[in-house]
Structures are given as structure tokens and as C-alpha cells.
Chain A
Amino acid sequence: DVKVTQSSRYLVKRTGEKVFLECVQDMDHENMFWYRQDPGLGLRLIYFSYDVKMKEKGDIPEGYSVSREKKERFSLILESASTNQTSMYLCASSFDRAPEAFFGQGTRLTVV
């Protein structure tokens, strides 16, 4: 079975903190994605990566950055967390240009 693991299920951080959300996949997938999920807005793409050290902005990249130093790991970074970044964050991975994506369990981040 494909496994996409997000390091935390729940996080509570203070405004202004630097926050790291980690995601690891075990299927040697080329593509990895970070989505943000908010009620009534569905899932919105923040960043994606199609190769090690490569990254592309999604639909809502402002306030976020990413890092992909190894193929299996994709990190989402909130440089200075703000309350409007309180949300559910979902990581996903897929083979190169393959349509089907596999999702992690999600990290519910609360910024206070």
C-alpha cells in the first residue's frame, strides 16, 4: 500500500513562529503536493514539486515556502505564522504525470 505520512496530526503554534509541516511518501513518487483545506473552499493547491529541489507555486503560495531535499520528503514552511493560516493541511504524492494522487492524513494547524 502507498503510504503518505504527515508528521503531526495536530499542531498549535503562536503568531510569528516559524512552522514546519513534514510529509514523507514511501512509493518513490516524483510528484508531491501541499494543499490547504478550509470549509466551503475545498482543497486549494499551495505548492507542488515534480523533482528533488524543484518547486512550483500553486494557487495560494503567499505566506508559504517549501523544501524538497530528498525525493521522499516534502516540507511546507510557514515563515511567520499568522492566524489566517489556521487550517487543515494535506500532503499528496503521485507518479510523474500520473493522475492519481495519494493523500496523507492531514495536519490540523491552529495559530493562536
Chain B
Amino acid sequence: AQSVTQPDIHITVSEGASLELRCNYSYGATPYLFWYVQSPGQGLQLLLKYFSGDTLVQGIKGFEAEFKRSQSSFNLRKPSVHWSDAAEYFCAVHGGGADGLTFGKGTHLIIQP
């Protein structure tokens, strides 16, 4: 069975600084990979996804992520964060079956003025 690890429960970043959120997965083959964002009291919004091809994927809101097969990682990055980026971020993996996504436990992003 697949699993996802997000090592950082909380991250605090100053507004305008760069951001990297870590995600490691465990799966026998190359999975489908996702990053979702959840603002307080809201559902999940898809930021970006990796299925195949170019290992650097661009998403919405200026986010990007890089798939590194050798490290089983799919880290999320943004060059300059805005106060509106404060939210919960979830990494997820899909193994291709009917049982849907497996999520990490999430990283809570705090933006300092």
C-alpha cells in the first residue's frame, strides 16, 4: 500500500520569502502525485499534479513542485509567499486503483508579516 510523509507539521515563513514544503511517498512504481491546499473552513483545492513527463510541474497561485524519483519526493515550492498563502497543504498519492488518494498528514503554513 502507498503512504505519504509530510515531515513538517508547521512551517513559519516571512511574507516575501521563499517556501519549500516537503513530501515523501512510498509506492512500488511511479504514482500519480498531487498537492492540495485547504484554507480555513474550506474544502481542498488542487494546486498541481504530476502524472508523467517533465518532473518540474507548475501549478496555480505561483506554486511549483519537482518529482525526484531517486528520493521518492515531490516537494512544493514558491519563490515568494503572500499572506494569502497561509493555509494547510496536503500532499497526496494515487496508485491507479479505484480506492482514491492517500494523503499525508498536512503541513500548516504560517506567514509572518
- What CA separation (Å) do A37 and B106 show in the bound complex? 10
Q: Are B101 and A31 touching (Cβ within 8 A)?
A: no
- What CA separation (Å) do A92 and B34 show in the bound complex? 15
- What CA separation (Å) do A80 and B105 show in the bound complex? 27
Query: Which chain A positions have C-beta within 8 A of B9?
Result: 40
Query: Which chain A positions have C-beta within 8 A of B41?
Result: 9, 106, 108
Q: For the side of the interface on B, what is the size category? A: 20 to 34
Main secondary structure on A side of the interface with B: strand
Q: Which residue of B lies closest to A88 (CB)?
A: B41
Choose among B43, B49, B98, B103 the residue that contacts A105 (Cβ–Cβ < 8 A). B43
Query: Which chain B positions have C-beta within 8 A of A105?
Result: 42-43
Query: Which chain A positions have C-beta within 8 A of B44?
Result: 43, 90, 92, 103
Q: How many of A's residues come within 8 Å of B, CB to CB? A: 29
Q: Are B43 and A106 touching (Cβ within 8 A)?
A: yes
Known A42-B103, A45-B99: A90·B43 in contact at CB below 8 Å: yes
- What CA separation (Å) do A89 and B46 show in the bound complex? 18
Task: Write the residues of chain B forming the contact surface with A, with a CB cutoff of 8 angstroms.
Answer: 9, 32, 34, 36, 41-46, 49, 51, 90, 94, 96-106
Supply 9 further A-B pairs (C-beta < 8 A) apart from A35-B103, A43-B101, A56-B99.
Answer: A42-B103, A45-B100, A48-B99, A50-B98, A99-B96, A101-B101, A103-B36, A103-B45, A104-B43
Task: Write the residues of chain A forming the contact surface with B, with a CB cutoff of 8 angstroms.
Answer: 4, 9, 31, 33, 35, 40-45, 48, 50, 56, 58, 90, 92, 94, 96-97, 99-106, 108
